[in-house]
Structure 1
Amino acid sequence: MNKHALLNADMNYLTATLGHTDEVTICDAGLPIPAQVQRIDLALTHGVPSFIATVKVWLASSQIEGVVMAEEFADVSPECHQQLLAEIEQEQQATGRTLTIEYISHEAFKQRSGHSRAVIRTGECTPYANVIFKTGVVF
């Protein structure tokens, strides 16, 4: 049994097989997920698990170097956007690394998520609560 917080078998396998610059999307319950992309569906009911709770566990388990979000996120869902930025800042403080943050249109985000190694679907029902994490290296 793992000693760290990530217990989901599919997510554990994903972290173990990611390479540098691979991308993983964590999304709300409504983001369309292309059929060709691995879907890790955590959604149980509205809000469970939450987007931020899932992000926290992912950041504790995976090294990232970049973040991609939709431009609309900050305007439409500012509270959740600020929570995500706070988690990114904590990750930067914990690792001593500066993460790149990129904003693109929601339409471009949906297209880009189709190139992710996997899309992790949460039960979040906050509009635009989606993020793409670009994998880094631990050395």
Structure 2
Amino acid sequence: MKKGMLLNRELNEVIASMGHLDYLIVCDAGFPIPNDVKRIDLALKKDVPDLETVLSLIADDFVAEKIYVAQEVETNNAPLFQKVQRIFPGVEIGTMEHQTILSEMARKAKAIVRTGAFDPWGNIILQSGVHVPQWFDKPGIIVPDYYKDKL
């Protein structure tokens, strides 16, 4: 039996298939998911499950190199922004236009995880990274400067 806390088969498969720089979007209940992108629908009812729960479980199994949120999140939904910072400590959080997340980035995502969250601008893009200590652990390998702070 699996040791980790994340039990959803589809979500485990997507995380296992992620490559460096792939995108995984964890979204609120109202996100317009394109038909041709893999949908993992966890939504049951308002705020079940919520973004914090789903992001926390994903964080245990996923290496995020960078995270993107809508430009409005930091000022208009500060509690969500603070949760993302807490769940992914040390990971750079960038912003982009909300419309770009809803359209262009949604089409680029490897998968979109729909939560039951009723959370304004609650659409979080996780950019897959590498686990630096594991990738750069062999003798003679030089760690690039941009990864040194991850050791």
For normalisation by structure 2, the TM-score amounts to 0.83
- For 1:82 and 1:113, the matched residues in 2 are separated by 23
Residue 33 of structure 1 and its aligned partner are, at CA, apart by 0.5
SS in 2 for 1:114: helix
- For 1:136 and 1:63, the matched residues in 2 are separated by 5
Tell me which residue corresponds to 1:103: 95
Tell me which residue corresponds to 1:96: none
- For 2:93 and 2:73, the matched residues in 1 are separated by 13
Tell me which residue corresponds to 1:122: 115
The code of the aligned residue for 1:132 comes to I
> Taking every aligned residue pair, what percent have the same amino acid on both sides?
31
Counting only pairs closer than 5 Å after superposition, residues 46-65 of structure 1 correspond to structure 2 as 46-65=46-65
Counting only pairs closer than 5 Å after superposition, residues 11-30 of structure 1 correspond to structure 2 as 11-30=11-30
- For 1:82 and 1:17, the matched residues in 2 are separated by 28
SS in 2 for 1:68: strand
Tell me which residue corresponds to 2:40: 40
The code of the aligned residue for 2:26 comes to I
5+ residue gaps, structure 1, are 93-98
Residue 76 of structure 1 and its aligned partner are, at CA, apart by 2.3
Any runs of at least 4 consecutive aligned residues in structure 1 with deviations exceeding 2 A, and if so which? none
5+ residue gaps, structure 2, are 136-151
For the 8 Å contact 1:69–1:132, the answer to whether it is kept is: yes
- For 2:23 and 2:31, the matched residues in 1 are separated by 16
SS in 1 for 2:13: helix
Which fold has the larger relative contact order, with Cα–Cα distance below 8 Å and residues 6 or more apart in sequence? 1
- For 1:113 and 1:131, the matched residues in 2 are separated by 11
For normalisation by structure 1, the TM-score amounts to 0.89
Q: How many residue pairs get matched?
A: 131
CA RMSD of aligned residues (A): 1.1
